Structure 1
Amino acid sequence: MTGAALTPTLEGWSHVSSGKVRDVYESPVDDRVLLVVASDRVSAFDHILSPGIPGKGARLTALSRWWFDRIAVPNHLREPSGWDARLPADVAARSMRVVRLEMFPVECVVRGYLTGSGLIEYREHGTVCGIALPTGLEDGDRLPAPIFTPAYKAPQGEHDENISFEKMIELVGLDDAVALRDRSLRVFREASAIAEQRGVILADTKFEFGRNPANGEITLGDEVLTSDSSRYWDAKLYADTALPLKQRLSSFDKQIVRDWLSSNWDKQGEPPALPSGIIERTQARYAELFDRLGVGA
């Protein structure tokens, strides 16, 4: 599932790895920097699907850049003038030149609303990642305050594992665990306020941090606050309790793809090709968030 066959050769960069969506390159002359290229590939249920979503990679990259400009923590972008001169224009639009970080083995998940996997645990135990919550909450309810629910980053091809904060301390140490938690909650609150001003709810998200080997600073890496790493809802629809819950909690991401696959595939063997109508609707959903936030305006 590496998607290596879709990986372009780029002048001045050596390909080192590919994930389900992104390709990573390193500089043969400076091992301190990487090039992260977001593709138009779309994945669901641990499979790369076909065809991709046109424009998805460029939109996610622009969205990350937009948020990096607005959140007050150090990030990994390092882009001197002319850094993309040798890249094809379509690749440059999907690329970020970043400093290589020593990544922490945890995903820093912040939840402001109860839904998804958190809802399943809550219904069984009254907790989310071991954090006790008030009784009587329903799907989509806003939490009294955002909660930090880390996950262990499993090796590629395996599922990440939700962990307690105590387990996170065992993995990274007390000081770094506290710093990562506090930075994550701070960025979530800042981003939530910005999104709400534009009629969008940030329900939950994940951040990835690393240590900059040049100065030891904890630095925000990976993508940030994109449709692939975050759950966004339309605030107006969310507030209309007369609507069906599924419509109120319709997210600006690839949920359309997941829903179609769930109805048209038994999850055995290779998944079917996505119909053009599903591609177009998903593309429009990514574009709507882009426009609602005012990215590129």
Structure 2
Amino acid sequence: MHSGKVREVYRDGPDELILVASDRVSVYDVVLPTPIPDKGKLLTALSLWWFEQLGDIVANHVISATDVPDEWAGRAIRCRAVDIVPVECIARGYLAGLGWEAYAKDGAISGVELPSGLVEGDRLPEPVFTPTTKVAPEDGHDEPMTFDEVSDQVGTELAERLRALTLQLYRRAAERAESRGVILADTKFEFGLTPDGDVVLADEVLTSDSSRYWRAEDWKPGGRQVGFDKQYVRDWARDLGWWDRTPPGPEIPADVVEETARRYRVMYERITGLTWNG
């Protein structure tokens, strides 16, 4: 049905989908030509672990991680087909990335006013809901949305539900991560609607692609943090001087590939308490 930056989506019958995660990595909406070994399996395993941790807050779209074609074993999930809500639901507990850039410019993120005097990497007084549009890469880039704009697009009742769920899920995940010596700085959730109108958690959840993870021992507010997530590749690409950020992207050197894969493994093992066996 669809080939995205990292995943392929297949329909299997009228009501089920199979999501297949690849080893591709993208930055600035450009898929880079060099894969990261085992990335697809790591993303899938971490998503499945988090879906279980969060199941009492909201239902999710997962049917099975084993009832999938053999060639995709370990990196595919069978899911319920749902109508994806066209809003990227982002929760931020710390100032980093585009959130930091917006705050440095306007003192606010997505219309949410924040206290003055914060520095890059600071913990926010309370987590904030900072949604963006959901745009296909070929159509442009996701843009910040205010809560009122989300309400205009999906209705006030659903917007309030999305905000409440996003912050509740973030708080639970941040607490679990913190207990393992990990800071969940921010993350992105996607939600879908069942034919009955129920809201379910969909796509990937709390992976090192969709989240910003820092080790607690590395946290030093006042500058760029040490990322144990896709930010490591973003930082490499930014420091490279790839200013136009258009395809084709640069080849990733072997040492950057190896370190990226290592950081993904470290974060999986620290968060879950499980040993990664590939």
Greater Cα offset, 112-121 or 260-269: 260-269
TM-aligned CA deviation for residue 79 of structure 1: 2.1
Alignment pair present for 1:257 and 2:233: yes
d(CA) in 2 for partners of 1:219, 1:137:
34
Q: Which of 256, 264, 276 is the aligned partner of 1:286?
A: 264
Alignment pair present for 1:219 and 2:200: yes
d(CA) in 1 for partners of 2:2, 2:213:
29
Letter in 1 for 2:228: F
- Asked if the contact 1:113/1:140 (under 8 Å) is kept, the reply is yes
- Asked if the contact 2:87/2:132 (under 8 Å) is kept, the reply is yes
Q: Which runs of 5+ in 1 are unaligned?
A: 1-15
Structure number with greater Rg is 1
Residues 1:140 and 1:222: Cα distance change in structure 2 (over 3 Å):
same
TM-aligned CA deviation for residue 256 of structure 1: 3.0
TM-score, L = length of structure 1: 0.86
Alignment pair present for 1:228 and 2:209: yes
Cα deviation per residue 1:1-49 (whole Å; 9 max; x = unaligned)? xxxxxxxxxxxxxxx110011001011xx21000000000011122211
TM-aligned CA deviation for residue 266 of structure 1: 4.4
Letter in 1 for 2:254: S
Q: Which runs of 5+ in 2 are unaligned?
A: none
Paired residue total: 270
- Asked if the contact 2:212/2:231 (under 8 Å) is kept, the reply is no
d(CA) in 2 for partners of 1:150, 1:119:
15
Identity over the aligned pairs, expressed in percent?
A: 45
- Asked if the contact 1:63/1:295 (under 8 Å) is kept, the reply is no
d(CA) in 1 for partners of 2:113, 2:5:
34
TM-aligned CA deviation for residue 153 of structure 1: 0.7
Q: Which residue is 2:67 aligned to?
A: 83
Letter in 1 for 2:203: D
- Asked if the contact 2:21/2:44 (under 8 Å) is kept, the reply is yes
Cα deviation per residue 1:240-295 (whole Å; 9 max; x = unaligned)? 57xx843xx11112333223333153436623321111110111111110111125
d(CA) in 2 for partners of 1:264, 1:170:
39
Q: Which of 121, 125, 132 is the aligned partner of 1:144?
A: 125
Letter in 1 for 2:194: N
d(CA) in 1 for partners of 2:236, 2:92:
26
Runs of 4+ in 1 over 2 A off after TM superposition: 254-262, 264-272, 294-297
Residues 1:118 and 1:272: Cα distance change in structure 2 (over 3 Å):
closer
d(CA) in 2 for partners of 1:49, 1:41:
7
d(CA) in 2 for partners of 1:83, 1:154:
31
TM-score, L = length of structure 2: 0.92
Alignment pair present for 1:206 and 2:184: no
Residues 1:166 and 1:95: Cα distance change in structure 2 (over 3 Å):
same
SS at match of 2:18: strand
- Asked if the contact 1:66/1:295 (under 8 Å) is kept, the reply is no
Q: Which residue is 2:154 aligned to?
A: 172
SS at match of 1:69: helix
